[in-house]
Amino acid sequence: MQPTMPVRLSAAETTLVEQLKAAGADAQAERITVAGLPSRRVESYHYTDLRTLLKAVPPLAAPANEASAPALRVPGAFQLMIANGIVQDNSTAPAGVIVGKSEGPALTLRDDMLVHINTALARESLNLNLDGKIDPIIQIDRRTEGEAAHSASSARIYLADDSEATIIETYSGSQAAHLSNHASYIALGKNARLTHITVDLSARPATHFATNEYNLGEGAQLRSLVIHAGANLSRAHVFARFAGQGSHADFTGLNLVSDGQHCDITMDINHAVPNTGSKELYKQIARGRSTAVFQGRIVVSRDAQKTDGKMMMQGLMLSDEAQILSKPELEIYADDVVCGHGSTCGQIDEEMLFYLMSRGVTKADAEVMLVRGFLEELIDPIEHDELREALASVIDQWLVGGLH
């Protein structure tokens, strides 16, 4: 057998190898040297070929000297900040919240290059331990500041048994061509309840990668919402493991993409024990010459009888040049389950558009009204009025073209 020959590295891959070696991550550097970044040949990256799409990697981020204003403010939220990968000092935490930081990776190691890179380059992790019914909302503001930089950040969040919390993580920074790679590991104890929202509001020239990993204990209840409305190239991972019976999760997400953008949400969840349930609803809206991607996989393990899992992707194309790609998958090893998946894609209903216009609504306003209606079921379940209004404002700004 002929030995495997290293691939010819791109400029971006060469820089990544150098950065990983400088961080002492020789194994990760060797993986890129031999195989390069994930390409279409890697099934989970089939629609997001990083060898082609990632053109450049800026220098590793230095500590931030100053921070710009938050890209999204949630009134009354307890705010924490991670700037250029470094956990910043914070004000006194509310009752039931213990804030700390530590070294070492937050994510479970898995065969994914973006996870390997975050694990190698994240210098420290924000630690949150939550106990009881947490009030107010917690906002983790992650940002990359200054000149174009490559930053990696990490957070570990633990909800004690019977606890309840709402956490929003926002990603933003200066208007430079940053590359950011963020990670959150979240463990829910017995009967814990969590609403976890992540919103990408990075500058348009930026590249944004993020991974959310969930571990659900017995009776835990999770609502997850991922929104992309910023970076030119973005990919979000949603990994979850149902480890306790009676646990349930609603996984939702939204890609908002315009000319030149490529945004990907990839979900991979594992029902590992009996009597668990999940509902997945992801929506994508694309306008101009842009690409929105959803890849979703539900794995039902052999012992996970009585699993109830339903996955749906809905796409809305606002231009003929837009491209929406979807790949839902079920991998079922148990024989007593209720599981299904579906995917739909189309344009704005011309009859509904005509109806509104016939009653004096302009075409532009009518389109906005119809798109808002299309997205209502993602935002309406958010119980906090201020948070729901803040998320609606992100969508409204995108609809009128005001984000960039």
Of 256, 235, 249, 216, nearest in space to 375 by CA: 256
* Residue 157: half-sphere exposure toward Cβ, Cα within 13 Å: 29
In a domain, 33, yes or no: no
In a domain, 305, yes or no: yes
pLDDT digits (tens, 9 = 90+) for 8-17: 899 999 999 9
Beta bridge partners of 346: 316
Has residue 212 got a pLDDT over 50?
yes
- Domain count along the chain: 1
Residue with more model confidence, 156 or 92: 156
In a domain, 58, yes or no: yes
In a domain, 54, yes or no: yes
In a domain, 97, yes or no: yes
In a domain, 334, yes or no: yes
Q: How far apart are CA 201 and CA 250, in angstroms?
A: 23
Q: What is the mean pLDDT of the chain?
A: 93
In a domain, 400, yes or no: no
- Residue 285 pLDDT: 95
Residue with more model confidence, 211 or 73: 211
Has residue 396 got a pLDDT over 70?
yes
pLDDT digits (tens, 9 = 90+) for 357-370: 888 888 888 888 88
Strand order from edge to edge, sheet including 86-87: 86-87, 78-83, 138-144, 164-173, 193-200, 221-228, 248-257, 277-286, 308-317, 338-346
Has residue 273 got a pLDDT over 90?
yes
In a domain, 376, yes or no: no
- Helix ranges (H only) for 43-96 are 50-53
Q: Is the pTM of this model over 0.85?
A: yes
Residue 31, classed as helix, strand or coil, is helix
- Residue 310 pLDDT: 95
Domain interval for residue 324: 38-348
Q: How far apart are CA 195 and CA 310, in angstroms?
A: 19
Has residue 250 got a pLDDT over 50?
yes
Q: How far apart are CA 68 and CA 105, in angstroms?
A: 27
pLDDT digits (tens, 9 = 90+) for 148-190: 999 999 999 999 999 999 999 999 999 999 999 999 999 999 9
